[in-house]
């Protein structure tokens, strides 16, 4: 398909800007102007609409296909949230408005949304307070580690390392390193959980804290979680909960009760805001009481008269980590979701997410190798090890699924599982969909055994086949200038 720039026709007009009702006199000297026009395309409105409509048809999304991408929680995104986020009262609100005199009173509706979300998320995680500012999960991680650093600075602790299990998301070690810490990797044991004996050996006075997802990336609940947190606390370290997998326990159990001190949540996972093709997300961070002072400025507070205000005077705060109040329109969508589901709806989410994952695990365990066979939580991790005897890898199974109308699971992650196939169905998928997926996975396992060459050729139903990624990295072609 042609690039939009290659469809341009000189002189063709698109959308007309507002008409001018003032004299044509700018206040800029000529040397400060660009020498030639920016090379934007010249197209009609229909040209543009058709171009992007055609592009959209080259995508799988949750609305078009089952999307069991492990660790990403690709659940249904309710349409009501989209509609409400577009209400002019929210969409047209300038973020500097509260900084005008008595400006907080001009934005009471938006502040109430932020305040309520803080309270809802605290209740769901057993934390004492949240910042809504982080704009994605990894941004939340960085914020959380900055809070950890501020805590240790404030106490005069000399801490240099952050412990992270080998099964963790890559964002965990990256966030810790960017915040200035050295990363120490904790190995997993034969049950797929953190090796507590190894952890004990690695913990020392230099330990600033631990970053952990629970259930972990194998979909397994860390049965020693309380002991793990106690070990970290014994050296005045802090326990950081990566909320990427909260969908497994939302409305059932709270990370704060396990012993965690800092939590980030991915609103685009657990709270059903759209993934947008890679974002925008939102990664609010919650902390326990003793860390409240370190949360970023500003925070929304409720005054005695019931009105809401932004609090900026926070001397121990880590400062601003976003220009304003976070990805407000995403937070708003998550708020709508929580209001619609309520207490019982949220509990049903985790129960059905876990039920669906275990159903798939049970039905596929005879066909694919399952390195960790215990009851899983919201996702299950298989390995294509058995298929490798016929030269078939996880990626070939993934491409075979594409030809049969499914978005593949996450493959090759977590890296501690060889040829990993990580399946997260989410709670919104029906049994009929799960059964079709299961049948297809079984069909592919048989194909791998009997006609592996057919799988190697997949996908054949897509606009392009397997792409040469090595060439892409070597001959860097990333823009049409």
Partner 1 sequence: MSFIANTQEQQKQMLAQIGLSMDGLFADIPKEFLEKKFNLPDGMSEFDVRNRLADLAAKNHIDLTCFLGGGFYDHFIPSAVYAIIGRSEFYTAYTPYQPEISQGTLQAIFEYQSLICRLTEMQAANASLYDGGTALYEAMMMALRITNRNKILIDDSVNPIYRVMIHSYTKNLSIELQETKNDQGLINRKALLEKLDDNTAAVIVQNPNFFGCVDDFTDLAEAAHKKGALLIVSCYPISLGILKTPGAMGADIVTGEGQSLGLPMSFGGPYLGFMATKKDYVRKMPGRIVGRTKDNQGRTGFVLTLQAREQHIRRDKATSNICSNEALCALTALVYSSLLGKDGLKQTAQLCADKASYAWQKMTAIKGVKSRFGAKWFFNEFVLELPANAAEIAGKLIDKGFAAGFPLSRYYEGMENSLLIAVTEKRTKQQIGMLTESLEAVL
Cα distance between residue 431 and residue 358, in whole Å: 12
Instruction: Give 20's DSSP letter.
Output: P
Cα distance between residue 294 and residue 152, in whole Å: 11
CB 220, min distance to partner 1, A: 8
- Binding status of residue 279 toward partner 1 by CB under 8 A: yes
- Binding status of residue 43 toward partner 1 by CB under 8 A: yes
Q: What angle do CA 82, 83, 85 make, to 5 degrees?
A: 65
Find the binder of partner 1 among 205, 320, 391, 443 (CB under 8 A): 320
CB 20, min distance to partner 1, A: 6
Find the binder of partner 1 among 156, 277, 306, 315 (CB under 8 A): 277
Please write down the HEC assignment for all residues of 201-233: HHCCCCEEEEEEECCCCCCCCCCCHHHHHHHHH
For residue 467, count other CB atoms closer than 10 A to its CB: 8
Q: Please give the residues from 202 up to 221 whose contact with partner 1 meets the rule CB under 8 A.
A: 220-221
CB 71, min distance to partner 1, A: 10
Find the binder of partner 1 among 154, 177, 189, 391 (CB under 8 A): 177
Cα distance between residue 239 and residue 233, in whole Å: 8
With CA atoms as reference, report the closest residue to 349 among 424, 442, 447.
424
Q: Please give the residues from 11 up to 40 whose contact with partner 1 meets the rule CB under 8 A.
A: 12-18, 20-29, 31-35, 37-40
Binding mask 245-274 for partner 1 (x = CB under 8 A): ----x-xxxx--xx-------x-x---x-x
CA distances from 335 to 269, 291, 346 (A): 13, 24, 13
Instruction: Give 5's DSSP letter.
Output: G
- Binding status of residue 87 toward partner 1 by CB under 8 A: yes
CB 234, min distance to partner 1, A: 20
Q: Please give the residues from 332 up to 361 whose contact with partner 1 meets the rule CB under 8 A.
A: 332, 336, 338-349, 351-352, 354-356, 358-359
Give the nearer residue to partner 1 in terms of CB position, either 198 or 351: 351
Cα distance between residue 382 and residue 368, in whole Å: 6
Give the nearer residue to partner 1 in terms of CB position, either 252 or 389: 252
Q: Please give the residues from 184 up to 203 whose contact with partner 1 meets the rule CB under 8 A.
A: none
Structure tokens at 369: 């190798």
With CA atoms as reference, report the closest residue to 62 among 74, 70, 73.
74
- Binding status of residue 391 toward partner 1 by CB under 8 A: no
- Binding status of residue 69 toward partner 1 by CB under 8 A: yes
Q: What angle do CA 292, 228, 199 make, to 5 degrees?
A: 120
Q: Please give the residues from 417 up to 476 whose contact with partner 1 meets the rule CB under 8 A.
A: 427-431, 433, 459, 462-469, 471-473, 475-476
Give the nearer residue to partner 1 in terms of CB position, either 45 or 311: 45
Give the nearer residue to partner 1 in terms of CB position, either 240 or 258: 258
Give the nearer residue to partner 1 in terms of CB position, either 146 or 445: 146
CB 472, min distance to partner 1, A: 4
Binding mask 126-165 for partner 1 (x = CB under 8 A): x--------xxxxx-xx---x--xx--x------------
- Binding status of residue 170 toward partner 1 by CB under 8 A: yes
CB 35, min distance to partner 1, A: 7
- Binding status of residue 370 toward partner 1 by CB under 8 A: no
Please report how many Cα atoms fall inside a 13 Å half-sphere around the Cα of residue 99, on the Cβ side: 8
Residues 6+ apart with CB under 8 A from 267: 273, 281, 282, 283, 284, 330, 331, 333, 334
Backbone dihedral angles phi then psi of residue 130, each to the nearest 5 degrees: -125, 150
Note whether 301 and 309 are within 8 A (CB): yes
- Binding status of residue 94 toward partner 1 by CB under 8 A: yes
How many residues interact with partner 1 (rule CB under 8 A)?
209
């Amino acid at each position: 398909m042609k690039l939009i720039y290659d469809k341009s026709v000189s002189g063709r007009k698109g959308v007309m800007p507002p008409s001018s009702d003032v004299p044509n006199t700018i206040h800029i000297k000529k040397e400060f102007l660009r020498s030639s026009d920016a090379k934007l395309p010249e197209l009609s409105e229909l040209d543009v609409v058709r171009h992007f409509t055609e592009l959209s048809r080259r995508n799988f999304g949750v609305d078009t296909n089952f999307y069991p991408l492990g660790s990403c929680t690709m659940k249904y995104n309710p349409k009501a949230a989209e509609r409400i986020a577009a209400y002019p009262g929210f969409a047209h609100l300038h973020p500097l408005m509260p900084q005008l005199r008595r400006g907080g009173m001009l934005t009471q509706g938006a502040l109430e949304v932020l305040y309520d979300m803080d309270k809802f998320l605290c209740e769901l995680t057993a934390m004492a307070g949240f910042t809504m500012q982080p704009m994605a999960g990894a941004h939340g991680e960085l914020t959380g580690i900055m809070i950890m650093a501020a805590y240790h600075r404030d106490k005069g602790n000399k801490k240099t390392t952050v412990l992270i299990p080998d099964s963790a998301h890559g964002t965990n070690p990256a966030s810790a390193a960017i915040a200035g810490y050295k990363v120490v990797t904790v190995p997993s044991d034969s049950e797929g959980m953190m090796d507590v004996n190894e952890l004990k050996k690695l913990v020392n006075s230099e330990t600033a804290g631990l970053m952990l997802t629970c259930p972990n990336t194998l979909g397994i609940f860390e049965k020693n979680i309380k002991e793990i947190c106690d070990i970290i606390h014994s050296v005045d370290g802090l326990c950081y909960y990566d909320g990427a997998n909260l969908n497994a326990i939302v409305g059932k159990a709270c990370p704060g009760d396990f012993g965690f001190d800092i939590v980030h949540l991915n609103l685009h996972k657990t709270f059903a805001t759209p993934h947008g093709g890679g974002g925008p997300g939102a990664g609010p961070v919650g902390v326990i009481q003793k860390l409240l002072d370190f949360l970023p400025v500003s925070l929304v507070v409720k005054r005695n008269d019931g009105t809401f205000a932004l609090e900026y005077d926070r001397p121990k705060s880590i400062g601003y980590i976003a220009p304003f109040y976070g990805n407000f329109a995403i937070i708003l969508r998550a708020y709508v979701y929580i209001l619609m589901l309520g207490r019982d709806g949220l509990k049903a989410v985790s129960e059905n997410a876990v039920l669906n994952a275990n159903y798939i695990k049970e039905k596929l365990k005879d066909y694919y190798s399952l390195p960790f066979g215990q009851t899983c939580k919201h996702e299950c991790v298989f390995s294509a090890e058995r298929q490798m005897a016929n030269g078939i890898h996880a990626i070939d199974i993934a491409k075979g699924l594409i030809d049969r109308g499914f978005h593949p699971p996450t493959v090759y992650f977590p890296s501690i599982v060889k040829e990993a196939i990580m399946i997260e169905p989410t709670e919104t998928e029906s049994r009929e969909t799960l059964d079709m997926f299961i049948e297809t996975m079984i069909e592919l396992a048989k194909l791998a055994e009997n006609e592996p060459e057919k799988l190697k050729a997949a996908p054949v139903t897509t606009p392009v086949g397997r792409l040469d990624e090595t060439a892409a990295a070597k001959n860097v072609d990333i823009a049409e200038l």
